[in-house]
Structure 1
């Protein structure tokens, strides 16, 4: 088994430290890569690695060189925008010696487009919001829209450019939102599910949690929920994810509505609130390293602590010298 590289590490300090603890217990090292020498997640790793910005043409060649030079066996992405690149180059990373912790290219494409997400999961019997694209908004359709709607980018994240609007505001809002999709506005508690599938796509574990408070679209306070009532629905959605090409970590978001759970988003990566899931018993970094070392993964549905709360705060680090 080789070492671990966390890419676009940024502020994902707790996630990186989870891999550090799991790796060190197995005699391995963790490297963290970022263009920013002051990225907080570079603190506390075995080695910080400088890479170009993700959009730079040299990013992939640099990543492959790092994998080869440092004996990397697992590459862990952290943000949505790097997933398509890694999914496209799984074979190149494998040739360099590393497993990319990323779902199939097809699943990444589906999850990166809210219209494709709704279409793909609806086709597998999962309830999703009623949705309309701009070219579908004829006068007749506009007249029949629900009173309360959401306009958002099809490929958006972190709640950016999300507008809660009334029916008579749809046309003017669609005109100012990039790549917009219109969806019915759902009511009820919003729930996030951190889940893990093995590297062959078999669902292993999940933890549902409520985001009590968010900052910049990321959970800073939350609590884990019992799986008893939600379990069958979550397991059905994870089976659909598997069928569509999911592997590794997946984050689901849904509303608990009067008509039942309604899926609104799927992210094929670790969620920002994953530290709560790990504290509740979902030690995904350790389980992934065990799988890569040859241990058969074990299904662990329901094996976590419900009613566990999380709250976050900022921590400062100081240095006299930049890393680069």
Structure 2
């Protein structure tokens, strides 16, 4: 039985206006009524919350009560689809997946077995390498210090559980590495070359349906500001390898690749959610938002890989006014 009206909850809505607009455009193409509810720590200061049909406050996503707060919103408002947007909320929500299912809501989060891998960059590297997916050499601090000659210097360092380009460092010599960091770090080959985001869609049956890379021409605060879609068979093959390495991955995901001139493409991280650059993929014809609405509403999923190459996105600042 299909539904002609759905309620969508976008979590940690923040500045995700493009994502909200993609879902509304998808509902229009499907001739479906869609009510968009957004939640955020401070919805009064969120552009996406201001443009939603309703907005609600929730605790920080690292608060022990965060998942229950999102469940409460889902229960009270009869939400059909819950879409998280930032990495730290994925695990607490995934752990509550059965509770969302009992409420009749689709939680757009892969199982905890997937999230526990992609939220730990050390494990990501190990799992992908074991599946034959190309990754940079990766060591934890103890492993690197035990044998500094196993990697070329300088090395690239980042928090194992980090996101949004937080805590990135470069060390030229082993002597430059401090004895302690505020959080666990990983150390990798210092890659050079162009960087790509590769958006992928895995349908409810586990089939990889779409792979759409875009060149990250310019980045601000870890999010693509200028990008262009590119068809690359080698990156499609990498996406197939990731889907094989993470067989329980579902829905939307994206991964970052640096195409090193000497080593070739190397996967540096995976985000099991809508990436910040998703509106570019959507504009190019990879309508992930529509395909999720189709799955949730009981329609046949129309996912395809027929997106347009050479579509360019050039973001600019825009204001939302209230009062």
- Normalising by the residue count of structure 1, what TM-score does the alignment of the two structures yield? 0.91
Q: Which residue of 1 aligns with 2:63?
A: 56
| Alpha carbons 1:203, 1:239 under 8 Å: kept | no
Whole-Å separation in 2 of the counterparts to 1:39 and 1:184: 37
1:44 is displaced (CA, Å) by 2.3
2:279 is aligned with 1:275: yes
1:138 is displaced (CA, Å) by 4.2
Match of 2:81 among 65, 74, 80: 74
Supply the RMSD in Å over aligned alpha carbons. Answer: 1.8
Distance 1:159 1:295, change over 3 A: same
| Alpha carbons 1:145, 1:167 under 8 Å: kept | no
Distance 1:103 1:17, change over 3 A: same
Distance 1:55 1:178, change over 3 A: closer
| Alpha carbons 1:214, 1:220 under 8 Å: kept | yes
Match of 1:249 among 211, 229, 252: 252
5+ residue gaps, structure 1, are none
After TM superposition, the structure 1 = structure 2 runs for residues 93-172 of structure 1, keeping only pairs within 5 Å, are 93-138=100-145, 141-172=147-178
Whole-Å separation in 1 of the counterparts to 2:159 and 2:315: 29
Whole-Å separation in 2 of the counterparts to 1:143 and 1:58: 45
Q: Which residue of 1 aligns with 2:270?
A: 266
| 3-state SS of 2:188 partner | strand
Distance 1:187 1:237, change over 3 A: same
- The number of residue pairs the alignment matches comes to 315
| Alpha carbons 2:81, 2:108 under 8 Å: kept | yes
| 3-state SS of 2:219 partner | strand
Whole-Å separation in 2 of the counterparts to 1:110 and 1:57: 21
Whole-Å separation in 1 of the counterparts to 2:285 and 2:201: 12
| Alpha carbons 1:219, 1:273 under 8 Å: kept | yes
| 3-state SS of 2:198 partner | strand
1:298 is displaced (CA, Å) by 4.5
Distance 1:317 1:144, change over 3 A: closer
**Higher deviation after alignment, 13-22 or 252-261:** 252-261
Match of 1:307 among 307, 310, 317: 310
5+ residue gaps, structure 2, are none
Whole-Å separation in 1 of the counterparts to 2:194 and 2:204: 32
| Alpha carbons 2:40, 2:46 under 8 Å: kept | yes
Whole-Å separation in 2 of the counterparts to 1:288 and 1:252: 19
**Higher deviation after alignment, 286-295 or 253-262:** 253-262
Match of 1:317 among 292, 317, 320: 320
1:229 is displaced (CA, Å) by 4.6
Whole-Å separation in 2 of the counterparts to 1:185 and 1:262: 11
1:293 is displaced (CA, Å) by 1.9
| 3-state SS of 1:129 partner | coil
